[in-house]
């Protein structure tokens, strides 16, 4: 590489830090969306939404408790995905703080096939 600078792929420690940061950001995103999707369908914001009130059929449909439960269920799935990301970030590092690299993520075949 020209210029003597380093990139994330040149330094394994930086790659591990970038991977950890990515996982934590994904987990934060999943938690935020999940909690919003669990709470909002049961709040007054859902009942007094001007966008839903503009189309009466959609408004009646959105008032159904089945639809509210389905939206909350999607929120619960998002929270579960956030927990899975946190677990992957936690298990991806050893107890002494060294990263554990797993190049075979997803079970992809390695080498010649």
Q: What angle do CA 29, 83, 106 make, to 5 degrees?
A: 95
Averaged over successive runs of 10 residues, the pLDDT of the chain (113 residues) comes to 50 76 92 96 89 86 92 96 90 60 55 58
The pLDDT of residue 71: 95
The pLDDT of residue 6: 47
What burial class does residue 92 get, using C-beta atoms within 10 Å of its C-beta: 0-12 exposed, 13-18 middle, 19+ buried?
Answer: middle
The pLDDT of residue 55: 87
The pLDDT of residue 38: 97
The pLDDT of residue 8: 46
């Amino acid at each position: 590489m020209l210029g003597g600078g380093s990139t994330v792929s040149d330094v394994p420690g930086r790659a591990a830090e970038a991977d950890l940061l990515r996982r934590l950001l994904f987990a934060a995103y999943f938690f935020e969306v999940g909690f919003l999707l669990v709470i909002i369908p049961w709040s007054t914001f859902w009942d007094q939404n001007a966008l839903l009130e503009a189309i009466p059929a959609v408004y009646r449909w959105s008032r159904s408790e089945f639809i509210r439960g389905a939206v909350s269920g999607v929120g619960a799935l998002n929270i579960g995905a956030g927990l899975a990301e946190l677990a992957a970030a936690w298990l991806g590092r050893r107890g002494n703080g060294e990263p554990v690299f797993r190049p075979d993520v997803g079970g992809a075949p390695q080498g010649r096939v």
